[in-house]
Homo-oligomer: A and B are copies of this chain.
Amino acid sequence: MEGLEYSRAWLAYRKTEGVGDFAGSIVCRGGGVQLKTAATELKAAFEAMTGRTPETMEGEDERGADRPCVLLIEEASGGEGYRMELKDGVMTVSGGSCGVLYGAFALIRKLACGDTDFNEAKAPSKPLRMLNHWDNLDGSIERGYSGASFFFRDNKVVVNERTEAYARLLASCGINGAAINNVNVKGAASRLITSEYLGRLREMSEIFWRWGIRLYLSLDFAAPLSIGGLGTADPLDEAVRAWWKDKMAEVFSAVPRLGGFVVKADSEGRPGPFSYGRSHAEGANMLAEAVRPYGGLIIWRCFVYNCRQDWRDTKTDRARAACDSFAPLDGSFADNVYLQIKNGPMDFQVREPVSPLFGKLRRTKCLLEVQIAQEYTGQQRHVCYLIPQFKEILSFRTFNGSERDAVADVIGGMAAVSNTGSDCNWTGHDLAAANLYGFGRLAFDNALSAEDIAGEWIALTYGRGEKVIRNIRKMLMNSHAAYEKYTAPLGIGWMCAPGTHYGPSPEGYEYDRWGTYHRADHLAIGVDRTPAGTGYTEQYNPPLNAIYADRETCPEELLLFFHRLPYTYRLKSGKTLIQHIYDAHFEGAGEAAELIRLWKELEGEVEPGAYLRVLERLNEQLQSAEEWRDVINSYFWRKTMIPDEKGRKLY
């Protein structure tokens, strides 16, 4: 990726008209570490935008500064919130130390985007806004599509210039936590909480903290065995509890900025409390007790299901698993435990219903987990802008009995499986950076629209050229719908290649152990999840349960998730289900072609290297979309032998 500086991304500050007015001096008031970071960042931004270097002053009084060009940044109460005000030629940004940093980035963003409304007060919608990295200590990344890890190499923790560049990137969009190692804690990763690694982790955590970011680690629940030399990891065993307490005292003393731990327990072969006949609450609370003295958090993943299902078994329904396991435990978790719940009941498919578990937890803190690593959505070789999907999820009403009952009202924050790696552009596909930026912005401000976030990211990344903004925004905003159309139909999911999860394989997961079946035969397809079937719909609060259970009221994009239907079933459009499948796949592939057309209009408008990088991936996307179209359509044609009404080519 010639010519691309990883430090740039959407922070490539460029000469901008009308920024000079308050960039003569920067006056700092306050001693917080993030306030200093804010001052440095603002200075760099103004230098790049105006070509002049502002004077930076520390002091009580802005009057000595070079009026009328004064930017006052001021530490006040407010934690992560900030106030911004332009009055009498003085631009003031105030707030807690972290808040001022967010305010500084907000000001830079406004200037870069040409937004002249400088009077605002903002606080983050939620306290936790995290990335989960699935980086392994050998430097590989599970489901990583952007090169190797920049946190680990050869079983060592890496701290270098990129550590700071990464933290800056996150802070600029509002992310305040990062769990840097894979939730599948394997090999050397078990030893991250030993003296072998703590020194380096402290260095990293201090760099992170300058940007308002807490370092988190993923934890091996069986650590008392794997590194402690105990004979058990039973969370009710006194020796185990004592071991964890001692261990956490050691860890937090060495790394005082540590935020806490993410735990994947009793899931896909990971150890957990079930091995000892204990509940998830007993497991999580034991850890919570050990980290409580240091203000630590335990983030406990709810991705627990039977991953050794017999495909012949039609009674077991993986979709039920999270709710079956965790809903009964509501109220039994310590208050420094967050349950991290995947957005849907399965696993980050392009279309799933929202997890019913969000509607069941009234007395438990929880996080919404999404995946910006595009595992099932094109692996950063396809454009798939996920923010519209995240918006839908946040606004989904759980009908949990509260007045404000949307997912956004229920959660204490958001976590995203990260899409970053050591590629120069961070995210493999240049346009995939919009998902990283967008996740942070949306997590910070749940009220932002996907369109506005896209607009910001484009302006910051590519400048404010009208056609650039228009075309790229169109590309991003339509990309998820296009991907959905040319892949698995109507919420059925899982028609991807087993293992890699890239490209079509209509029956790749059909006879496997993962609980992911469509059971298509010559006449019908889908799993009946109504009370007449697996009863999954009953996990939703009324009236959602009834809405989903009735094929007439069930949202059509989820029809085959909830119902088993004949191919001749008529949709609201009047089309049969099979004709809808054919049409959607032809349309979707057409939309992939349209992406190329829109991008090609930008030749000469974006930097040539970036232009070609994206074009190459768009071409691959089109080829892949056509493959999806032809495989899925041919699969259904061969199975149903119902011809396409429009007589298009099937194989």
Contacts and interface: CB of A to CB of B under 8 A. Distances in A.
- Prevailing SS type, chain A contact patch: loop
B312 A630 contact: yes
B640 A522 contact: yes
Interface stretch (A136-144, A191-199, A301-309, A505-513): A505-513
Contacts of A504: 511
A639 interface: yes
A631 interface: yes
Q: How many copies of this chain sit in the oligomeric assembly?
A: 2
Contacts of A520: 638
Contacts of A311: 651
A522 B631 contact: no
A630 B637 CA distance: 24
Contact of A506 (B312, B507, B630, B634): B507
A638 B521 contact: yes
Interface in A479-520: 499, 504-508, 511, 519-520
A447 to B, nearest CB: 44
A523 B637 CA distance: 11
Nearest to A312: B651
Nearest to A503: B511
Nearest to A499: B499
A12 interface: no
A639 B507 contact: no
Given A507-B506, A511-B504, A511-B505, A521 B312 contact: no
A410 to B, nearest CB: 39
Interface centre among A311, A511, A520, A631, by most B CB within 10 Å? A511
B641 A523 contact: yes
A517 B21 CA distance: 69
A639 B511 CA distance: 14
A508 B520 CA distance: 16
Contacts of A499: 499
Interface in A517-559: 519-523
Nearest to A632: B511
A597 to B, nearest CB: 24
Interface in A603-651: 627, 630-631, 634-635, 637-641, 651
B631 A511 contact: yes
Contacts of A511: 504-506, 627, 631, 634-635
Contacts of A639: 521-522, 638-639
A52 to B, nearest CB: 55
Nearest to A517: B651
A641 B522 contact: yes
Nearest to A638: B521
A504 B510 CA distance: 11
Which of the listed residues A523, A627, A651 has the most CB atoms from chain B within 10 Å of its own CB? A651
A638 B505 contact: no
Nearest to A637: B521
Given A506-B511, A511-B631, A511-B635, 16 more contacts: A312-B630, A499-B499, A505-B508, A505-B511, A506-B507, A508-B508, A511-B627, A511-B634, A521-B638, A521-B639, A521-B641, A522-B522, A522-B638, A522-B639, A523-B641, A638-B639
Interface of A: 311-312, 499, 504-508, 511, 519-523, 627, 630-631, 634-635, 637-641, 651
28 contacts: A311-B651, A312-B630, A499-B499, A504-B511, A505-B507, A505-B508, A505-B511, A506-B507, A506-B511, A507-B507, A507-B635, A508-B508, A511-B627, A511-B634, A511-B635, A519-B638, A520-B638, A521-B637, A521-B638, A521-B639, A521-B641, A522-B638, A522-B639, A522-B640, A522-B641, A523-B641, A638-B639, A639-B639
